[in-house]
Amino acid sequence: MTKHQPVAPVITAQEAQARLARGNARFVSGHARFLTGLVELREALATAQRPWAAILGCSDSRVAPELVFDAGLGELFVIRVAGNVATPGVMGTLHYAVEHLAIPLLVVLGHQECGAVQTALERHAQQHWKEKGIEVLMRAIIPGLADVDQALDPAAAMDAAVEANVRWVLRQLREMPEAKREREDATIVGAVYELRSGRVRFLS
């Protein structure tokens, strides 16, 4: 087996985030690019890919990163799982994105009214669930909701929980031993998608 030769990122993390912001602005304004030349693009990408950003997003059908950021084939490396949680499989996929594809920017993308986060917020006091698959998600999300103010009204509590979950995943990605290389080679940022406006708000 030959040793993997590192490749240089296509662009910097700052430019990648700026591209995402510009694409989202086109999406919000209703001026998303109309993809032409699809056959030629598909053929050009058949032998290699060089995406410039990786998105860890939720599986929610309303939040498709390629549409939200007005990005075409070959531009985004997308991982989607309910609640945008950092499972071992997700960590391995992000490691591949940085190590083999030299992606400079990793984005954890949460969204308003996330069903997985809503369920975790409602069940945070419970220790057992009948649905084993749900239990895996709950155990991944609930620790990040510990500081959500329970005195908030339901809508505000939900918004706070969504952002808290994104920040919790960011913390996990930055602290896990497997993420050492990612911390050195890629910028990791969080963002929240607003369902009604279509705007993506990057977290400070």
Distance CA 151, CA 185 (A): 40
pLDDT of 158 above 60: yes
Q: Would you list the DSSP string of 134-161?
A: HHHHHHHHGGGGTTS-TTS-HHHHHHHH
Could you report the per-residue pLDDT of 2-13, keeping only the tens digit for each?
A: 445 567 788 999
**Higher-confidence position of 47 and 111:** 111
Most confident of 39-48, 57-66, 136-145: 57-66
Instruction: Enumerate residues 6+ apart whose C-beta is below 8 A from 163.
Output: 110, 190, 192, 203
- For the chain, the C-alpha Rg in angstroms (whole number) is 18
What's the pLDDT score for residue 74? 93
The 3-state DSSP class for residue 184 equals helix
* Nearest CA-CA partner of 191 in 199, 178, 182, 200: 200
Give, for 33, the enclosing helix (H) or strand (E).
Answer: none
Domain layout of the chain by residue ranges: 13-32+50-202
**Higher-confidence position of 96 and 35:** 96
Helices H, strands E: what count in the chain? 8, 5
Largest CA distance in the chain: 57
Distance CA 155, CA 136 (A): 25
CATH topology of domain 13-32+50-202: Beta-carbonic Anhydrase; Chain A (3.40.1050)
- Pairing state of beta strands 200-202 and 187-193? antiparallel
What's the pLDDT score for residue 135? 83
What's the pLDDT score for residue 66? 95
Could you report the per-residue pLDDT of 164-184, keeping only the tens digit for each?
A: 999 999 999 988 665 555 556
What's the pLDDT score for residue 6? 61
